[in-house]
Structure 1
Amino acid sequence: MSLLDGPLSALVAAVQSGETTPSAMTTEALERAAARNPAINAICLINPQAQAEADAVAARLQGGETLPLAGVPVLIKDNIWVKGLRIAQGSALFADHIAPEDSEAVKRLRNAGAVIIGIATCSEFGCKGATNSPFHGVTRNPIDPSLTSGGSSGGPVSAVAAGIVPLALGTDAGGSTRRPPAHTGLCGLKPTQDLIPYGPGFDEPVWGISVICPIARRMEDIALAMQVLARLASAPAPRLEIAVSGDFGTGQRRDPDVAANFDKVVAALTSADVTITQARIAWPHDIKGHDVQPLQHAGLAQLYGDVWRETPGVFDPAIAEQIETGLSLSGTQVAAAHQISHQMRETLRAALDLYGFIATPTTPCAAWPAEQNAPSEIGGQPAAPRDHAAFTPQINHAGVPALSIPCGTDSQGRPLGLQLIAQAGRDADLIALAQRLEPILKEIA
């Protein structure tokens, strides 16, 4: 097995010991990108300086530095600034945008010895739940290229799932680095708000909810990445007590296979002596995850409404529709969405204070056809455009950490994910819990 397919710790140890070199790891990752990316369209730009960066890491090692991510090839989502590279947010509006500096997260990766091999695709402005756009085209799921890998972090996720790189950075403002990992059998962590510095970078449609996130194949790799990105120390495993909710208290329909899988997860955890309780989350006024969408629509309209009026054809039609909706909203409607955001925060934080950890399905459905922006049906009935994201935005508006971890497949072999949620600031405990549960969940068919 190649070092690119094993734990990050083994790759780093091999580079540190001289068994391999940063250049060799970079070459292998670039060769895999050339061979595997055409079928999935996960990478939109190869870093022309990747080998030079690998050589610089080798020189630092020869100078006696100990680098926690020495020689690790990494891809960065196309909305996170990487100095000197085109970062376009998946939009033709930014086709000529060259990032003037590194985001702090990229700087920390580079300081730790990682090598940026390129930029991975995202949906336009990171504002769609599938990664397809007029600018980048359709990004496909390596498990089954006829399917989506979700969005908006579909490119980073597809590249890791295809084995091109072992680690990637995505962003998450409503589930964008939890739902795509669930669709591809990966791990994705949404940290506590502002635990990883966000920026410098682009203006956000909704400030205060988006975070930078590591994506990897296993939780130990997520833990190592967070040591670098957030200087997060490891924690001992917490007590195995989890509250569970199959629909997150939202009443959202689920595909039968998702519901059956969640029952299997609960049974497997119970058999492994995990204390399980049923979570009761009383969302006021029956608020749903999509009820905060006016904030995104209004934010997009504020940022890009003038350009849309002049050149509407430049935009992804799905994003143009969001901008048009945002321009039509009243101040009262936007204020109401802010109130819902606040209610999500207060309700979920109170539930986490009561239960400690809450588990839900990451998504109510598995991956759908790659050309579609959303599934047409969930649970055998027509699905609204954001029903597939029913269990994730609440976490962003609460500012608390959550992750998705693989937990088997549906009857068609499509991966499914388990979402674990913790109190704000308990990221290390959440990671430690997921590492304890990971071998249990791997046994679920």
Structure 2
Amino acid sequence: MHATDIVRAVTARETSAREMADQALTRIAAARDLNAVVTVDPERTRAEADAVDARVAAGELLPLAGVPVVVKDNIWVGGWRITQGSRLFADFIAPEDAIAVARLRRAGAVVVGIGATSEFACKGVTTSLLYGPTRHPLDRTLTPGGSSGGPVTAVAAGLVPLAIGTDAGGSIRRPAAHVGVVGFKPSYGAIPYGPGFAEAGWGISVVGPLTADVGDARLAFEVMAGPDPRDPHAIDVAAAGPAQPLRIAFSPRLGLDVAVDGEVSVGLQRAVGRLRAGGFLVVDKDPVWPAGLAEDAIMPLQHAGLAALFSDAFRSDPHQFDPDIAKQIERGLGLSGADVARALEASTQIARALAAFFLDVDVLLTPTVPCVAWPFTQLGPSEIGGQPASPRGHAVFTPFVNHASVPAISMPCGTNAQGLPFGLQLIAARGRDRRLLDVAAQAERVLADRA
């Protein structure tokens, strides 16, 4: 059932939050081989569901009444073990809810489990020393991507209709594309961040929903969005506004010199053709970036952030860390202040370039990923578009969006010959989240009608 269907049924008392929670727990237990949900607490979940049923019986109208939700293992859920996929936090119990989680619970959602993440949410494959690999629901030898691999797999495998992840460089959108679900990255600040762990990437990470369709993503966003005095960066996003002619720019490579698999390119072109046939005005137009700008220019921020947070623990016992995260910490320890300042300047240039682009267009359409899923034993595919690929070659279309603070949504776009999904990404100016969700819903209908 979709979240909207569950809300209707629980509100009408055709079923109960307890029944929905029990069904979700049963599905999670039957899908342990996916390693998507790493922590469950059935007693706590059932008590929470019973409390929702009591509120419904008392006449409360709850926008997420009885909806089971999986929360990523780096977002605080009060009273639950939240580890960031790290041995350092293996026994950490969150002292309170993150604001987003508190709002979900207040709206009647029921936490049924904690979804796997890569260590500190800093890796594009969801594996950790603490829990091992999360596996793709369509092929257990593949990764769903990362770092929100557990939450996206929980939705794609039908364990829950709603999961919550974080996105500091594509960690919601890319895995959503790899498993064929919807992943929404709001504007920076649209959903208040924290209370929670200190972040390795400053000023770019957001909380967002993962769902089977845009309608459920919109429902969850509306519950979580809105300022809170505890988050100084929180913003109030604009209303969607009246319908008007849309100016959509299609950029098949985001204006970057990067490789894309042929089947992904063809599938995206086919989707754009269907949107045009469905009445969308789509023009070919690339963002213009400062010369030579690529993800390498901004990655020092993550490496420096990891080093700042964990250098003491790393020097004490480097074997506590995922070897891939250890390499990032080592790089961070080797950076100078000037290196970090240059990365901050690159981040600012990205934000300015994309802000200028949205003076002329309303929505930017790009691939979400340049490839389909790959073996979970690798950081990335060995090649993309017939060319050797770096470990971050799969991530080229998402990080700039975070540094620009703008909203973006990944939607299923097609599959390759082996049936593995990929996605298209819609991007809008900061604060235009509701307008973007409207466009995504329209696009979803057109693509479904013309499939």
Q: What TM-score, normalized by structure 1, do the two folds share?
A: 0.96
Deviations along 1:159-200, whole A, 9 cap, x unmatched?
000100000000000000000000011001000111100000
Question: Which amino acid is the alignment partner of residue 377 of structure 1?
Answer: E
Higher mean displacement: 183-192 or 224-233: 224-233
The offset of 1:379, in angstroms, is 1.1
User: 1:93–1:314: 8 Å Cα contact kept in structure 2?
Assistant: yes
Aligned to 1:354, the other structure's residue is in SS state: coil
Partner of 1:31: 26
Partner of 1:284: 290
1:176-195 alignment, distance < 5 Å:
176-195=171-190
Partner of 1:250: 256
Distance in structure 2 (CA, Å) of the matches to 1:167 and 1:47? 18
Q: Identify which of 78, 103, 107 aligns with 1:108.
A: 103
Deviations along 1:12-39, whole A, 9 cap, x unmatched?
1110111000110000000001112x22
Q: Does 1:227 align with 2:233?
A: no
Distance in structure 2 (CA, Å) of the matches to 1:137 and 1:329? 30
Partner of 1:320: 326
User: 1:238–1:432: 8 Å Cα contact kept in structure 2?
Assistant: no
Partner of 2:407: 401
The offset of 1:349, in angstroms, is 1.1
Q: Identify which of 64, 73, 97 aligns with 1:69.
A: 64
Q: Identify which of 40, 46, 54 aligns with 2:40.
A: 46
Deviations along 1:98-148, whole A, 9 cap, x unmatched?
000000000000000000011010000000001011111000110222211
Query: What RMSD over aligned residues (CA atoms) do the two structures have, in Å?
Result: 1.3
User: 1:237–1:432: 8 Å Cα contact kept in structure 2?
Assistant: no
Distance in structure 1 (CA, Å) of the matches to 2:39 and 2:137? 19
Aligned to 2:358, the other structure's residue is in SS state: helix
Partner of 2:428: 422
Higher mean displacement: 408-417 or 182-191: 408-417
1:235-274 alignment, distance < 5 Å:
237-274=243-280
User: 1:171–1:211: 8 Å Cα contact kept in structure 2?
Assistant: yes
Distance in structure 2 (CA, Å) of the matches to 1:171 and 1:290? 21
User: 2:246–2:362: 8 Å Cα contact kept in structure 1?
Assistant: no
Q: Does 1:196 align with 2:191?
A: yes
Question: Which amino acid is the alignment partner of residue 253 of structure 2?
Answer: D
User: 1:236–1:429: 8 Å Cα contact kept in structure 2?
Assistant: no
Question: Which amino acid is the alignment partner of residue 361 of structure 1?
Answer: P
Partner of 1:213: 208
Deviations along 1:292-339, whole A, 9 cap, x unmatched?
100000000010011111100010000000000100111111111111
Query: How many residues were matched structurally?
Result: 439
Question: Which amino acid is the alignment partner of residue 271 of structure 2?
Answer: V
Distance in structure 2 (CA, Å) of the matches to 1:256 and 1:418? 15
User: 2:240–2:432: 8 Å Cα contact kept in structure 1?
Assistant: no
Distance in structure 1 (CA, Å) of the matches to 2:203 and 2:41? 30
Alignment gaps of 5+ in structure 2: 227-236
Alignment gaps of 5+ in structure 1: none
Change (3 A) 1:32 1:352: same
Q: Identify which of 300, 305, 309 aligns with 1:294.
A: 300
The offset of 1:444, in angstroms, is 6.8
Q: Does 1:143 align with 2:149?
A: no
